[in-house]
Structure 1
């Protein structure tokens, strides 16, 4: 496993992309509308991304923003074999949000581990 990205919930991805783009010298690498949200990936020098999550209307990110406010939503780790990563998590008695891989942004397969089992951190596994 290796670091892939940190997901940041925001109500204004454009403004945050401008801010982080300037602060971190991080250009927009990818942008799309996906699963009820606008997703913007900023490429970090040395590897990895900031993923900015802006809700279109309703959905899980809108609910998160209403409940928690803007900020870090999840940490994503790249894996070579997502089903094996999920099996390894189950072997460690980690509760899973996704029992099976599902489509994620940028065409990747993803699955999430429940933060109640991972020290309060929502962990995403990403298979490129």
Structure 2
């Protein structure tokens, strides 16, 4: 596995994209409305992305913002075998949010691991 992105919950993805783009010299490379969110990806030099998540309706990100406020929501790792990665997590006793892969942003398949099994960090596996 390799680092893919850090997901950041925000109330205004476009507004947050500008300072990150300038500060990190990280251009916006993808934007979409997906699953009740505006999603903006900025590409980091050396690999990986920042994913800015702005809710457009109720849902997981809106709930997270109400509960925790803006900030890092999850860390994602890329895999070439998402079902195999989930099997390995199960074998290791990791609690899963998603028992099976599901559609994610940018047309990728994703699955999340429960933070109670990963030191309080919501972990996402991504297969491109």
Name the TM tier (shorter chain). Answer: over 0.9
TM-score normalised over the length of structure 1: 0.99
Matches within 5 A, 1:15-94: 15-94=15-94
Cα shift readout 1:46-71 (whole Å, capped 9, x = no counterpart): 10000000000111100000000000
SS at match of 1:89: helix
TM-score normalised over the length of structure 2: 0.99
1:113 paired residue number: 113
The RMSD of aligned alpha carbons is: 0.4
Runs (4 or more) in structure 1 with deviation over 6 Å come to none
Distance in 2 of aligned mates of 1:49 and 1:123: 15
Distance in 2 of aligned mates of 1:122 and 1:74: 5
Q: CA deviation at 1:37?
A: 0.3
What stretches of structure 2 of length at least 5 have no aligned partner?
A: none
Distance in 2 of aligned mates of 1:16 and 1:49: 14
Q: CA deviation at 1:26?
A: 0.4
